[in-house]
Structure 1
Amino acid sequence: MLTIHGVTRSRASRIIWLCHEIGLAFRQIPVIQAYRLADPDAPDAPPNTHSPAFLSLSPAGAIPVIEDDGLILSESLAATLYLARKHGGAVGPADLAEDALMMQWSFYAATSVEPDALTILFLHARTRLQSGEDQALVANAAERLIRPLTVIEEHLATHEHLVGTRFTVADLNMAEVLRYAQGYGELMGQFPATMAWLERCQTRPAFRRMWEARLAEPE
């Protein structure tokens, strides 16, 4: 059985969502980020990214990690693309061309969107007063995202999905990255087709199942 190391409040959410989409059973070991613990090296600390057992799987000390039939993968997008190819059916590629396009969109999400989207996620807090420095960093990140989001918007304005005519792992990977910036209306409101597509992705039963598990975990 597939084993996923990582709490759902991490990039493990991508893998868990995919497993629910394709009906793939898995065992989850809730390894938590070390920075969320007062003393991750304490004898009674829960499994975390500083734990020696976990570091033996991921020397970089980053979650998630999957184990599947002896294969260990420590990058979430590599894991979703791998599992989609192996088990995905309609969610995975039908041929080499689709496989290449799914990689293209996934890598575009990781390289052109995710860094600045994460800045917005961590620094854009609607429930507390932001420092001037945080506001400037968020504004700069949003400005840099205009170009990649325009590319995505132009595609989704004429296509229901990123690849082919169905929901695939490419949509899942991109949706999970764009979720980081989703709460910043000043940016995302400029891209109505992208927001409509993101809503469709997030109303899928498999996403809702993952999200409910994520919310059930402590913050």
Structure 2
Amino acid sequence: MLTIYGVYRSRASRNYWMAGELGIPFRSVPVVQARRLIDPLSETAPINTQSPAYLAINPRGMIPAIEDNGLVLAESLANNLYLARKHGGPLAAANAAEEAEILDWTLWAATEIEPHAVKIVLAYDAEPNGPARGRAIVDAAAQALDTRFGMLERRLSQHAYIVGDRFTVADLNLAEVFRYAQSQTDLFDRHPGIKAWIERCQARAAFREMMTVREAEPA
């Protein structure tokens, strides 16, 4: 059985969503980010990214990680690519060309979108009522994303989904990266194709189920 290590309020959300889309059974081990704890090495601390028990599974000390029949992987987007390849179906590539496109767009999101988008979500994590001290960071990140959003906007002007004109793991991976920037409504309003696309992705039952669990977790 697949084991997913990580709380839902982390990048593990991507893997929980993927498992839901595939309809596969999984075991959840709620590993917490060490930065959220006063003393992550305390005997009473929950298992976290500094716990020796977790570091034995993922020495990188990050979440998520997955374990599947002895195979351990520790990058959330790669985890989803593996699960799609293993289980097949409409979320997976239908041929080598689609597989290349899925990988291409996933790597683009990881390198061009997430470094900026994560600055936005971290600013809001630090100031939940809206960034004041971090406003300049958010504005700079949104400005950097504007041109990059245009690249996907052009793709979506001709296609409802990113690869193969159907919902695939590429859409799931990118939707989870783009979600980090969704607080910037003006950015999405300027790119209506992206706004409509992410709404389609987030209307899926597996996403809503994942978010229900995520929102029930402590912030």
> Partner of 2:4: helix, strand, or coil?
strand
Say whether the 8 Å CA contact 2:123–2:131 is kept in structure 1. no
Aligned mates of 1:142, 1:211 — CA distance in 2: 24
Aligned mates of 2:175, 2:142 — CA distance in 1: 17
Give the equivalent residue in structure 2 for 1:137. Answer: 137
Asked whether 1:59 is paired with 2:59, we answer yes
After TM superposition, what 4+ stretches of structure 1 lie above 2 angstroms from structure 2? 124-129
Deviations 1:152-177 (A, max 9, x none): 01111110000002100000000000
Percent identity for Structure 1 against Structure 2 = 51
Count the aligned residue pairs.
217
Q: Letter of the 1:43 partner, please give it.
A: E
User: What displacement does 1:218 show?
Assistant: 0.8
Give the equivalent residue in structure 1 for 2:104. Answer: 104
Give the equivalent residue in structure 1 for 2:21. Answer: 21
Deviations 1:6-41 (A, max 9, x none): 001111111110111110110000000001111110
Task: Give the alignment partner of residue 127 of structure 1, picking from 126, 129, 139.
Answer: 129
CA shift in 2, pair 1:128/1:168, >3 Å = closer
User: What displacement does 1:129 show?
Assistant: 5.6
CA shift in 2, pair 1:173/1:44, >3 Å = same
Aligned mates of 1:130, 1:46 — CA distance in 2: 32
Unaligned runs of 5+ in 2: none
Deviations 1:120-146 (A, max 9, x none): 112255724602xx2221111111111
> Partner of 1:89: helix, strand, or coil?
coil
Q: Letter of the 1:73 partner, please give it.
A: L
Deviations 1:170-216 (A, max 9, x none): 00000000000011112222111100000000000010010001011
Give the equivalent residue in structure 1 for 2:87. Answer: 87
Asked whether 1:149 is paired with 2:149, we answer yes
Give the equivalent residue in structure 2 for 1:168. Answer: 168
Aligned mates of 2:106, 2:34 — CA distance in 1: 27
Unaligned runs of 5+ in 1: none
Give the equivalent residue in structure 2 for 1:42. Answer: 42
